[in-house]
Amino acid sequence: MSACDAAVTNVLLTYVAPWLDMQARNFNNAVTKRGFALRVPISHVSVASPHGDGTEQHPILRIQDMAKEIFRSYEEKLFAGRSVEAAQGLFLRFWRTFGQVQPDSKVFEVHSKDNLRYCIPCKFHIDEGTGVRKSAVLQCSWGPVLASGAASWLRYFFWTAMGHEAYREHNMGWEWGNEVLDALMEELAKQAKSAMETGIATKYGTFFLCFISLEGDLPAQAKVFHCKRNFLRVPNAMCPWCLADGNTVPFTDVRASASWRATVGQEVPWVSEPPLAVLSRNGEATFLAKDVFHLVNLGIGRTFLSSAICFLIYLGHFIPKDQALGRGIPVRINEAYNDFKHFCKHVLKKTPMVKSWSRENLGWKGPESMPSNSFKASDTYLMLSWLVDYLGRPFHHNKYIKNMSACAHGVLPMP
């Protein structure tokens, strides 16, 4: 058995219950026999044990080892689905544009302009998902910014995962970090720094993986980047990117003249330096990617949609052609949903997860309430696409419709 096969077996036997040993062996043998096992050795990093009595070895897949396997057999995943020459041209254009936004990036300190064609822009993704019995599971992956496709397996490559029980006793608050998670992040930063400075040798020359951002939801980013300024600090300073608060620099001010705009980038968001700060020049918050998924698809997008649908009904829209059905609010909500479903089927060629709309799932409790919903993130995109189409149809456009249309276009995320 090869070292890679043995490593796969060890991981399976570690995490699968003892009574499944035979099934695990059979599964591993079947996967390996069919050539589906990646030739990536499993490494380990030393972390404090769950209750602080010594240390344990936690399994990881090193960035360098995974990258070598990808370059060996799946190079298009790191070359944005292009040939090497086309990818290098794309990398140059990316860095030229990126330099206009973040001219002080660590990448430009390490690499010359001529060498940027060999620099692959990459990002981390860290998230606390939900595991068995709704317990938290930390997941950490990395991948190219310029992916070869939209599927997650083309954009994110596994680095490690850790159950909540392994690190929860070491929480000291987001501001001061977590001994176990910091050990993981130190190792991750060390590997990323080497990948950016030393690079990965390939048959096309040495390519450098240059990490420019950390993706994840706001809690995950605050936790691993030691953010003193985070969303739970309201009314105190609560934004990692600026000094917005709930008092003198109101975060609710969205005008072009908002006072918080002048404070963007003035101060780092942490007091205790996070391990990942080594990948930026000064540990600035620009390393934290904006969480568009949660901010839009699971945030303002959902709130806006519920409000828009309810307000359109208030304005007299979605009256059924069959007068026998009446003009009651439940009937008109159903009429709106049928229009949406027809648009999804015949225009988007998609099937929404939500099977009906009602006052209850739109959060329409009354004229004084703020409508909201808990629909799937994928439905947010479908509903916004439908709303943009609907508001562009040839009916009388007043100021409300025009403003609503502008908002819908502005908030519509990528699919």
Q: What are phi and psi of 163, to 5 degrees?
A: -70, 150
The reply to whether 306 and 316 lie within a common domain is: yes
Query: Pick from 352, 326, 324, 328: which is nearest to 339 by CA?
Result: 352
Domain-embedded: residue 70: yes
Number of domains into which the chain is organized: 3
| Full residue range of the structural domain in which residue 218 is found | 38-228+270-289
The reply to whether 90 and 217 lie within a common domain is: yes
Query: Pick from 255, 218, 217, 258: which is nearest to 234 by CA?
Result: 218
The reply to whether 284 and 344 lie within a common domain is: no
Task: Please name the residues in contact with 231: beta carbons below 8 A apart, sequence gap of 6 or more.
Answer: 218, 222, 238, 239
Domain-embedded: residue 113: yes
Domain-embedded: residue 22: no
The reply to whether 196 and 274 lie within a common domain is: yes
The reply to whether 308 and 393 lie within a common domain is: yes
Per-residue pLDDT, 46: 97
- Contact between 285 and 265 (Cβ < 8 Å): yes
- Contact between 285 and 300 (Cβ < 8 Å): no
Q: Which residues pair with 162 in a beta bridge?
A: 138
Domain-embedded: residue 31: no
Q: What are phi and psi of 383, to 5 degrees?
A: -70, -40
The reply to whether 350 and 259 lie within a common domain is: no
Rounded CA-CA distance 177/292 in Å is 25
Checking 127-132 for CB contacts under 8 A at 24+ apart, the result is 127/216, 127/217, 127/220, 128/164, 128/217, 128/219, 128/220, 128/223, 131/163, 131/164
Per-residue pLDDT, 1: 45
Domain-embedded: residue 169: yes
Per-residue pLDDT, 32: 81
- For residue 344, how many other CB atoms are within 10 A of its CB? 18
Question: What is the reported pTM?
Answer: 0.81
Domain-embedded: residue 24: no
CA distances 88 to 84, 329, 405, Å, are 6, 57, 39
Task: Please name the residues in contact with 283: beta carbons below 8 A apart, sequence gap of 6 or more.
Answer: 268, 270, 273, 274, 277
The reply to whether 321 and 380 lie within a common domain is: yes
The reply to whether 321 and 259 lie within a common domain is: no
Domain-embedded: residue 306: yes
* Tens of each residue's pLDDT in the chain, 415 residues: 455 555 555 555 555 445 456 777 788 788 888 888 888 999 999 999 998 789 999 999 999 999 999 999 999 999 999 999 999 999 999 999 999 999 999 999 999 999 999 999 999 999 988 777 778 899 999 999 999 998 999 999 999 999 999 999 999 999 999 999 999 999 999 999 999 999 999 999 999 999 999 999 899 999 999 999 999 999 999 999 999 999 999 998 988 999 999 999 999 999 999 999 999 998 999 999 998 888 888 888 999 999 999 999 999 999 998 888 999 999 999 999 999 999 999 999 999 999 999 999 999 987 778 899 999 989 999 999 999 999 999 888 789 999 999 999 988 865 5
Give the gyration radius of the chain's Cα atoms: 25
The reply to whether 158 and 282 lie within a common domain is: yes
The reply to whether 54 and 72 lie within a common domain is: yes
Rounded CA-CA distance 403/25 in Å is 61
Q: Which residues pair with 144 in a beta bridge?
A: 122
Domain-embedded: residue 173: yes
Task: Please name the residues in contact with 345: beta carbons below 8 A apart, sequence gap of 6 or more.
Answer: 351
The reply to whether 386 and 399 lie within a common domain is: yes
The reply to whether 240 and 383 lie within a common domain is: no
